[in-house]
A and B are shown apart, each in its own frame.
Chain A
Amino acid sequence: MSNQQWPAEWRAWAEEVQATFPNATSSLMPFLHRVRSQQGWLTPEALDAAAELLGMTRQHVDSVVSFYTLFRTEPTGARTIHVCRGLSCMMAGADTLMENLEHHLGIAEGQTTSDGAVTLLEAECLAACDLAPACQVNLVYRGPVAPDAFRELLEMPVEEPPALARRAEQSGAQGAKGVADRE
């Protein structure tokens, strides 16, 4: 297969990360980060593209991806909320905050709403315990978020990766599949 099948953007990124990190193996994670921030998660095509464009086996790519929590391989909402469950945040009410979000959204931690809009995840200590209970929305910090003020996390403006926004518009179907995949 020729590299031409991949989006021009991905091909350009692959060249860029390989130029930035002279030692080729180090180019994988920077490439995955760029694709991840574009689409919110890593599709099977993205993993194939990483392997092919960076000259690695797909098995190697998979083994790396599965090690890191930010590299998700399931459909992920345009708005990804991480609620910190670390000790300091727990002491400040993080569990209640999580429960409130779960009830409001009708999903459990780890799932995506059926319209594909919101993914709710727990995080370990986010190194922002001074903001306890601390959260991140698409990796932007927010805190302290009082348990009753959970709506902030749903209303706070976020930069939506264009591909994500498109996907959320297109179908609730894919988002719902994300939930099904978890169970």
Chain B
Amino acid sequence: MSSARPDRHYLLRQRDVPDIHQLEVYRAHGGYEALKQALEANQPDQLVELAKASGLRGRGGAGFPTGMKWSFLPKDGRARVLVINADEGEPGTFKDRELIEGNPHQLIEGMIITCFAIRAPESYVYVRGEFLHGYERLTAAIREAEAAGILGAEVMGHPFAHRMFVYRGAGAYICGEETALLESLEGKRGNPRSKPPFPAVAGLYGRPTVVNNVETIMNLPPLVLKGADWYRQWGTEKSPGLKVMSVSGHVNRPGNYEVPLDWTLAELIEAAGGVRTGHQVKAVIPGGSSMPCMPASQLDTPIDYESLVEAGSMLGSGGCIVMDDSTCIVRAVARVVRFYRNESCGKCTPCREGTYWLTDIMDRLERGDGEMRDLDMLLDVSDNINGKAFCPLGDAAVGFLVSAIKHFRGEFQEHITGQRCPLGARQYDTAIH
């Protein structure tokens, strides 16, 4: 039995409280109470323990336990840094944008609580370059917090001093990868760094650094106020709590849905208004385009991290893309593979060359010029990228492709034997050459 949907929003609070992006409104609805309580009633280490006890896991993609990540920081007295990843570029994901535009103070509050917990005097938010509105909202909220004595030499009268910076990216998906993000934040090209050293040991400007996603950290204020048991009323033992799922594609009400982590894909799609009348679900990518797709027969899978892995996919960032029976899977794969080719940073050969070849072959298949051996070639090239690339973007590039060939091989073959798309999908052709 899945848990019931909560009676209100804990992250997407702007849905319940209009204008909550303003400090005054946020405070009138309990804002910064959690910070006050954290500073007055807790030792930093107790907050790390709270994060661990809640079972909160990173919402940026990898699902790493948040409290554990914080406790990896070396205890060598160097100044620590918190960096918030608001680079949201994973296709199909749009939760962090809505969160920072609509509820920026909760992010700020969560960040200060986290920084108190890990003893970081400085924090940074790396905001995707395209998020102009989100950047402005967040910057305005920080200015409000500074003026109100929530940030600065003292935090709400407590001697804990804190400075917060907002930094804009400039259009590069790879900068969502945490080490590429740190390079970019240092004013360089966004090429991933080799690990080790991990950011916890040598991150931003060589300092011990924690990188966390926007949504992850926005869970802190309600957690501090209500406790780990409250959080665990939703989800499963290993994947507790609420998750903002971005649902898009062929559903009647695309949007962000804050749901318990033990809901099934079918329940989530239902919440998003179901698929268009007269159509059936064909495939779903549950966690952004870097994740394998699942056929309609797997819609009863719960969305917790473990169940999705067992079903052959991953929760990733929670970008759930729903494709109905009108979708040409070959065309969808061609589009996604091209994305990774465009966004490959070019640092390592398997990814740079491999995504180029995959795009080439997929274009050929989409045009109806493919041959049977192209299918083996696709899998072969994928094999040469998977696990062999310098950073996880390589693996991400082939997840959807390989799963699509597994579940919809017949449709790939029809494109070859019929020399056209059986669904009549048309390939985009630029008007002016």
* Residues of A near any B CB (own CB < 8 A): 20-21, 23, 25-30, 32-33, 63-64, 67-71, 82, 85-88, 90-91, 95, 98-99, 102-103, 106-109, 111, 123-130, 132, 136, 139-141
Contact = CB atoms under 8 A, between A and B. Distances in A.
B413 to A, nearest CB: 22
A71 B129 CA distance: 10
A127 B168 CA distance: 15
B153 interface: no
A30 B11 CA distance: 29
A91 B323 contact: yes
A29 B168 contact: yes
Interface of A, helix, strand, loop or mixed by DSSP: mixed
Given A20-B165, A33-B170, A88-B249, A107 B432 contact: yes
Interface of B, helix, strand, loop or mixed by DSSP: loop
A119 to B, nearest CB: 14
Contacts of A111: 432
B319 interface: yes
9 contacts: A25-B187, A32-B170, A33-B129, A64-B188, A82-B130, A87-B335, A102-B432, A127-B96, A129-B321
Interface in B261-283: none
Contacts of A107: 432
Contacts of A82: 130
B28 interface: no
Interface string B83-99: 00000111111101100
A172 B23 CA distance: 47
A56 B143 CA distance: 30
B359 interface: no
A95 B431 CA distance: 11
B152 to A, nearest CB: 15
Contact of B129 (A20, A68, A98, A109): A68
A132 B129 CA distance: 19
A25 B247 CA distance: 38
Nearest to B129: A70
Nearest to A85: B335
B428 A125 contact: no
B interface bracket (residues with beta carbon within 8 Å of A) = 35 or more
A20 B339 CA distance: 34
Nearest to B324: A91
A101 B185 CA distance: 35
B319 A25 contact: no
A3 to B, nearest CB: 20
Nearest to B172: A68
B243 interface: no
Nearest to B97: A127
B130 A129 contact: no
Contact of A129 (B94, B336, B432): B94
B130 A64 contact: no
Contact of A23 (B186, B323, B339, B432): B186
A124 B173 contact: yes
B157 interface: no
Contacts of B171: 68-71
Interface stretch (B13-21, B228-236, B250-258, B380-388): B250-258
A161 to B, nearest CB: 13
A63 B339 CA distance: 22
Contacts of A139: 130, 132
A95 B332 CA distance: 12
Contacts of A108: 430-433
Given A90-B332, A91-B250, A91-B323, 8 more contacts: A29-B187, A71-B171, A87-B92, A87-B335, A88-B254, A90-B335, A95-B426, A129-B92
A60 to B, nearest CB: 8
B292 interface: no
A38 to B, nearest CB: 14
Contacts of B327: 91
Among B167, B250, B433, max chain A CB count under 10 A is at: B167
Contacts of A21: 165, 167
B189 interface: yes
A87 B129 contact: no
B248 A25 contact: no
A53 B170 CA distance: 20
A67 B254 contact: no
Contacts of A26: 167, 185-187
Given A64-B189, A107-B432, A130 B336 contact: no
B357 interface: no
